Amino acid sequence: MSTTATATAPTEALDTFPINGTDHLEFYVGNAKQSAIYYQATFGYKLVAYRGPETGSRETVSYVLEQDKIRLVLTSAVVPNHAVGEHVAKHGDGVKILALWVDDCRDAYAKAIERGAESAFEPYEISDDNGKVVMAGIKTYGETVHTLVERSAYEGPFMPGFIAKKSSFPVDPVGLKYIDHCVGNVELGHMNKWVEFYEKVLGFQLLVTFDDKDISTDYTALMSKVVSNGNGRIKFPINEPAAGKKKSQIEEYLDFYQGAGVQHIAVATDDILVTVQKLRDRGVDFLYVPEVYYEDLLDRVGAIDEDLADLRRLNILVDRDDEGYLLQIFTKPVQDRPTVFYEIIQRRGAKSFGKGNFKALFEAIEREQELRGTL
Ligand code: FE2
């Protein structure tokens, strides 16, 4: 038996809820048509599929965008008093569905319900000439849903009901590869409940805990626990606010989102310098970290392959752990409410989350909060 087989076999056997990876993220937005242009023109996602009135969907319209392994779905209601429109009225644009790719949807759903998950919708099968997809939904924090998607037998552009549709202008990808992690903000005192949900229901394991001593500034504090699924491809940090002198960024999120929800989506790149340069050129706004951050950066993180001048110019942050280092940067919120934002991350060995940058980052967020009058 090879070393690899011995090393992976026990983990596979212990995985009580096998998930292949993230299938897609679905946003409910106010104007999917315009959001789709934003993601194509700035982040360089390609339009691949569409569903709307022209294809027989009378009440909602959805655009499906892809870049390497990342798939986003942008959905809006086209009629009044629809659940999608009401979601947007309450929360603003935000992530409704974190879809998980499973091999057997009905089995996964039954297991989740048996272990205490609340149903969002029961398994159903849809099919067209390209094959079939089976889906079911379970509820997670806030009004967010995990759809369990079984698509082994499907060959079409996204799923039955969607037609293939290409971008109508040249789209230049920025080098985004896959979703590294998705962070949820939950109400004060609810973090452990949701960590337990992921452990008990979905068989995730607790990777790391940050308390308010790790994550605090003069004004705000938060606590965070990171859970990960059996094969390690899905990582969900869960944040809750901790008592601070002023309103924490988590409380600001909960106020504007009207409850718990997805705070940020970290997407991985193999070349953060190129990715961030392209995003900046196309008008994506990033949090600003002051010059002083770079003065003793190399003393803090040691030798790195990138040129310090490039990192400083693009305002990219660096952190190191036992296994290597990582480079990261955070966008400002990507919709009008200060809720969902993106992290761009390049891992050079490090498997952690940039703890060494928390303070600089939170101070950057506080400067933004101050401008919004919500600190
Ligand atoms: Fe992150």
Q: Express each pLDDT in 51-78 by its tens digit.
A: 999 999 999 999 999 999 999 999 999 9
User: Which amino acid is it at 93?
Assistant: D
Q: What's the domain range around 343?
A: 5-9+175-372
255 and 352 belong to one structural domain: yes
Separation of 281 CA from ligand 1 center, angstroms?
23
pTM over 0.85: yes
Average pLDDT of 284-294?
92
In a domain, 259, yes or no: yes
Q: 106 C-alpha to center of ligand 1: Å?
A: 32
Final residue in a domain of this structure, among 164, 183, 208: 164
The rounded Å distance from CA 127 to ligand 1 centre is 36
Q: Are residues 112 and 190 in the same domain?
A: no
CA of 141 to the centre of ligand 1 (A): 18
Residues 73-126: pLDDT tens digits?
Answer: 999 999 999 999 999 999 999 999 999 999 999 999 999 999 999 999 999 999
pLDDT band for 361, please (50, 70, 90 cuts). confident
Gap from CA of 237 to ligand 1 centroid (Å):
8
- The residue ranking higher by pLDDT, 284 or 242, is 284
User: Ligand 1 centroid vs 148 CA: distance in angstroms?
Assistant: 24
Q: Is the pLDDT reported for residue 188 higher than 50? A: yes
Pair (250, 143) in one structural domain: no
CA of residue 166 to ligand 1 center, whole Å: 31
Between CA 159 and CA 338 the distance in angstroms is 32
pLDDT at 275 over 80: yes
CA 82–ligand 1 middle distance (angstroms): 32
Residue 241 forms part of a structural domain? yes
Do 349 and 240 belong to one domain?
Answer: yes
Tens-digit pLDDT profile for residues 146-161 = 999 999 879 999 999 9
Calculate ∠ Cα 292-297-301, nearest 5°.
Answer: 155
156 in any annotated domain: yes
Q: Which pLDDT value is given to residue 233? A: 95
Beta pairing partners, 269: 176
Asked whether residue 154 falls in the same domain as residue 216, the answer is: no
157/189 same-domain check = no
Q: 273: pLDDT confidence band, cut at 50, 70 and 90?
A: very high
